[in-house]
Chains A and B, each alone.
Chain A
Amino acid sequence: MSDLTLPRTAPAAIPERPTRPRVRLGAWMGLVLPALCVAAWQVVADARIVTPDLLPSPAAVLRALADLAASGELVAHLDATLARMALGFAAGAAAGTVAGALTGAIPLARRLIDPTVQALRSVPSIAWVPLFIIWLGIFEGSKIALIAVGVFFPVYLNLMAGIAGVDRKLIEVGRIHGFSPLRVLWRIQLPAALPAYVTGLRGGLGLGWMFVAAAELMGASEGLGFLLTDGEQTGRPAVVIGAILLFAICGKLTDLGVEWLGGKLVAWQDTVRP
Chain B
Amino acid sequence: MTDDALLTIDRLEKSFAGAPVLGPVSAWIAAGSLTAIIGRSGCGKSTLLRCLGGLETPTRGKIGFRAGALDRAQIGYVFQEPRLMPWLDVRRNAGFGLAHLPRGERNAAVAEALAVVGLTDAAGLLPKQLSGGMAQRAALARALAARPALLLLDEPFSALDPLTRAQMQAHLLAVRRHYDPTMVLITHDMDEALALADRVLVLRGPPGRVVADVPLDLPTARDRMAPGFLALKRDLTDALSEQPVEA
Residues of A within 8 A of B (CB): 169-170, 172-173, 175-178, 187-188, 191-192, 194, 266, 268-270
Q: Is the CB of B83 within 8 A of A170?
A: yes
Known: A176-B53, A178-B72. A270 touches B86 (CB 8 A): yes
Encode B73-99 as 1/0 by CB contact (under 8 A) with A.
Answer: 101110101010111100000001101
A sample of 14 inter-chain contacts (CB < 8 A) reads A169-B81, A170-B85, A172-B55, A172-B83, A173-B96, A173-B142, A176-B76, A177-B73, A178-B73, A187-B99, A194-B87, A268-B86, A269-B128, A270-B128
Task: Specify which chain A residues have a CB less than 8 angstroms from the CB of B79 in the assembled complex.
Answer: 169, 172-173
Known: A169-B81, A169-B83. A177 touches B146 (CB 8 A): yes
From 64 to 123 in chain B, residues with beta carbon under 8 angstroms from any chain A beta carbon are: 72-73, 75-77, 79, 81, 83, 85-88, 96-97, 99
Task: Specify which chain A residues have a CB less than 8 angstroms from the CB of B88 in the assembled complex.
Answer: 268
From 105 to 150 in chain B, residues with beta carbon under 8 angstroms from any chain A beta carbon are: 126-128, 142, 146
Known: A187-B99, A268-B128. A175 touches B85 (CB 8 A): no
Q: Is B54 an interface residue (CB 8 A)?
A: yes
Task: Specify which chain B residues have a CB less than 8 angstroms from the CB of A269 in the assembled complex.
Answer: 86, 128
Contact of A176 among B77, B85, B87, B127 (CB under 8 A): B77
Known: A170-B85, A268-B86, A269-B86. A175 touches B55 (CB 8 A): yes
Give bound CA distance, A152 to B85, whole Å.
28
Encode B135-167 as 1/0 by CB contact (under 8 A) with A.
Answer: 000000010001000000000000000000000
Task: Specify which chain A residues have a CB less than 8 angstroms from the CB of B127 in the assembled complex.
Answer: 268, 270
Closest-by-CB residue of B relative to A176 is B77
Query: What are the 6 tightest A-B residue pairs by CB atom distance, in nearest-first order?
Result: A177-B97, A270-B128, A268-B87, A176-B77, A191-B87, A173-B83
Give bound CA distance, A194 to B87, whole Å.
10
Task: Specify which chain B residues have a CB less than 8 angstroms from the CB of A177 in the assembled complex.
Answer: 73, 96-97, 146
Closest-by-CB residue of A relative to B93 is A173
19 further contact pairs, Cβ within 8 A, besides A170-B85, A187-B99, A266-B87: A169-B83, A170-B83, A172-B55, A173-B83, A173-B85, A173-B96, A176-B53, A176-B55, A176-B75, A177-B96, A177-B146, A178-B73, A191-B85, A192-B85, A192-B86, A192-B87, A194-B87, A269-B128, A270-B128
Closest-by-CB residue of B relative to A172 is B55
B interface residue count range (under 10 / 10 to 19 / 20 to 34 / 35 or more): 20 to 34
Task: Specify which chain B residues have a CB less than 8 angstroms from the CB of A187 in the assembled complex.
Answer: 96, 99
Closest-by-CB residue of B relative to A270 is B128
Closest-by-CB residue of A relative to B142 is A173
| Chain A nearest Cβ from B146, distance in angstroms | 7
Give bound CA distance, A262 to B211, whole Å.
55
Give bound CA distance, A138 to B128, whole Å.
52
Give bound CA distance, A72 to B55, whole Å.
66
Task: Specify which chain A residues have a CB less than 8 angstroms from the CB of B53 in the assembled complex.
Answer: 176
Give bound CA distance, A176 to B78, whole Å.
10
Closest-by-CB residue of B relative to A265 is B87
Closest-by-CB residue of B relative to A183 is B99
Closest-by-CB residue of A relative to B73 is A178
Q: Is the CB of A175 within 8 A of B87?
A: no
Encode B43-65 as 1/0 by CB contact (under 8 A) with A.
Answer: 00000000001110000000000
Task: Specify which chain A residues have a CB less than 8 angstroms from the CB of B99 in the assembled complex.
Answer: 187
Give bound CA distance, A172 to B143, whole Å.
13
| Chain A nearest Cβ from B58, distance in angstroms | 16
Give bound CA distance, A188 to B93, whole Å.
11
Task: Specify which chain A residues have a CB less than 8 angstroms from the CB of B55 in the assembled complex.
Answer: 172, 175-176
Give bound CA distance, A29 to B241, whole Å.
63
Closest-by-CB residue of B relative to A268 is B87
Closest-by-CB residue of A relative to B81 is A169
